[in-house]
Amino acid sequence: MQNRQEKISQVVVTAVQMRDIEDRIFAAGMPVVALMEKVAGLIARRIQEIPPTLLQKAYSVPSNTPFLRGSPQAGGSRVGILVGPGHNGGDALVVARELHFRGYEVWIYSPFSKLKELTSQHLQYAQSLGIPIYQTIEQLPDSDLLIDGLFGFGLERNLTDPIASAINQLNQLPVPIYSIDLPSGLHTDTGEVLGTAIRATHTFCLGLWKLAFFQDQALEYVGKAELIDFDIPLADVKAVLKDAPRIKRITPATALANLPLPRPPVTHKYKEGHLLLICGSRRYAGGAILTGLGARASGVGMLSIAVPESLKSLLVSHLPEALIVGCPETETGAIAHLQLPEKTDLSSFDAIACGPGLTRDATPIVQEVINSDRPLILDADGLNILAQMGAIATLKKRLAVTVLTPHTGEFQRLFPDVPDAKHDRVQAVREAAAQSEAIILLKGARTAIANPQGAVWIVPESTPALARGGSGDVLTGLLGGLLAQAATKEIPIEDIVATAAWWHSQAGIIAAQERTELGVDAFTLTQYLIKVLSN
């Protein structure tokens, strides 16, 4: 059974949900001041743990730089605290007080004339301690570290001058910025920049993960994200979220619970899944190879790969264990029609993955697999052909599960009437899944997966190293192999899709750590898939 910390780490909430959860806590008797003290105390301790070498590495400064000779337990001894008018500013002021008592040289930037009562009281006490307080950006002294407590979750209006100009100037300073809960200026749900926003080096997300942390457009602002768990009762979380479609952050524990897929002591290859890959063309032979290598890593029991006849010997040389099915091809080198082995048809397979390297000349092939009764993954040209056919109307006719794996451009071609995924990828993928009745895996820096019932899974980390041609082909093969194996196991398909996306992302992260981001081509990526399970 999952422990509390693991369950909390999976939860993702909207601003409204977080506010409702906090209201329940306060209604139950938790004093606001007590919660503020607890949260700020946790943050102050984390600030003290920042190793000097971390800031030295991040900012490429010499080890004898003055700010690295400050507090022995912190990144620097001079800390600037940016204070807003609400309780986020109150949190920041308690942090200022605690760091002051621990010997840090602290100053406060408080540009607002009207503060919430509790925040005002903390500011008054900070002033009584002799902590300098500044109201204009021009007055601010040097610092080694800034702590951003200007605005917390729930901000919806665009920031205007003078605070917008102040934030822009703060972003220009060559010092790290640690934001409390969310970088000031970001929309809590969409991650949209509301006029301007703090570019944080590190963000302490308070209590529960907010949606903004998983929107691609917010990532350059949040920096390294860390959850500060202040012991929200699970009962309050469940009470608020019980009627809402869940948004779940995929953690290593949840993904690895499905990996490797369980096998009985007595089994054989066809009981461990039979996957059919339909991919490749004379023009794009590499797509077939990479998709096949991804499937191989999944551990699927039997792998059949349908390719144009001219590619058969090439595929055999790379995947000798697979059954390579050479098919008649068009003049352009695409598959003309499937020519499966005797006594075999599409219903012989546990899953089908179709698309990488096909070219649009293979339209009849995509139409044929869509008409089948097998679980189907469509990617690349499979998606482009589906878009031409009319994705929503076509998919609604399918009797079996369909998984689509588009990037943002493909997503917009498939679902032109769905809100822009660049603005709110979580809402976009949720709407597309509901309308098409398919499972949608929207690739990106934070891959989002949605089922037709509105549930969403988010892969919380990735690497730019995966922004290479062929990386998506590897994911298609890996996902296809897992889906074929899951056909005989009682594991929800959505969990399998989420697990595949997490596995693929982790392989990229490990490869980038060992080979640098530039060293992770798609072929290399396939060699790191198994390393994820051995780490």
Does the annotation flag 445 for ligand binding?
yes
Share of the chain above pLDDT 70, in %: 95
d(CA 177, CA 299): 44
Does the annotation flag 96 for ligand binding?
no
Q: What is the CA radius of gyration of the chain?
A: 26
In this predicted structure, which of 60-69, 300-309, 371-380 has the lowest mean pLDDT? Answer: 60-69
pLDDT in tens, 202-230: 999 999 999 999 999 999 999 999 999 99
* Mean per-residue pLDDT of the chain: 93
Does the annotation flag 255 for ligand binding?
no
Question: What are the chain's domains?
Answer: 4-244 (3.40.50.10260), 252-534 (3.40.1190.20)
Give yes or no for residue 69 having a pLDDT over 80: no
Does the annotation flag 437 for ligand binding?
no
Report residue 75's pLDDT band, with 50, 70 and 90 as the boundaries.
very low
pLDDT in tens, 83-109: 999 999 999 999 999 999 999 999 999
d(CA 150, CA 80): 12
From the number of C-beta atoms within 10 Å of its C-beta (0-12, 13-18, 19+), residue 162 rates as: exposed
Does the annotation flag 88 for ligand binding?
yes
pLDDT in tens, 410-435: 999 999 999 888 889 999 999 999 99
Does the annotation flag 292 for ligand binding?
no
Does the annotation flag 148 for ligand binding?
yes
How far does CA 404 lie from the centroid of its chain?
17
Q: Which residues pair with 377 in a beta bridge?
A: 353, 403
Does the annotation flag 156 for ligand binding?
yes
Does the annotation flag 444 for ligand binding?
yes
pLDDT in tens, 25-49: 999 999 999 999 999 999 999 999 8
Does the annotation flag 443 for ligand binding?
yes
Does the annotation flag 157 for ligand binding?
yes
Report residue 71's pLDDT band, with 50, 70 and 90 as the boundaries.
very low
Number of other residues whose CB lies within 10 A of the CB of residue 27: 9
Angle at 45 between CA 43 and CA 48, to 5 degrees: 110
In three-state secondary structure terms, 376 is strand
d(CA 469, CA 456): 27
| 252 prior amide bond cis, ω within 30 | no
Cβ neighbours for 387, distance < 8 A, ≥ 6 positions apart: 410, 413, 414
Does the annotation flag 472 for ligand binding?
yes
Angle at 49 between CA 45 and CA 51, to 5 degrees: 160
pLDDT of amino acid 262: 84
pLDDT in tens, 482-515: 999 998 888 889 999 999 999 999 999 999 999 9
pLDDT of amino acid 535: 74
Does the annotation flag 158 for ligand binding?
yes
Tally the residues of the chain: 535
In this predicted structure, which of 47-51, 78-82, 180-184, 237-241 has the lowest mean pLDDT? Answer: 47-51
pLDDT of amino acid 427: 94
pLDDT of amino acid 61: 42
Reported pTM: 0.92
Does the annotation flag 344 for ligand binding?
no
Q: Where are the alpha helices (DSSP H) in 149-284?
A: 163-171, 219-222, 234-241, 252-256
Report residue 70's pLDDT band, with 50, 70 and 90 as the boundaries.
very low
d(CA 442, CA 444): 7
Supply the DSSP symbol for 95: H
Does the annotation flag 152 for ligand binding?
yes
d(CA 386, CA 362): 11
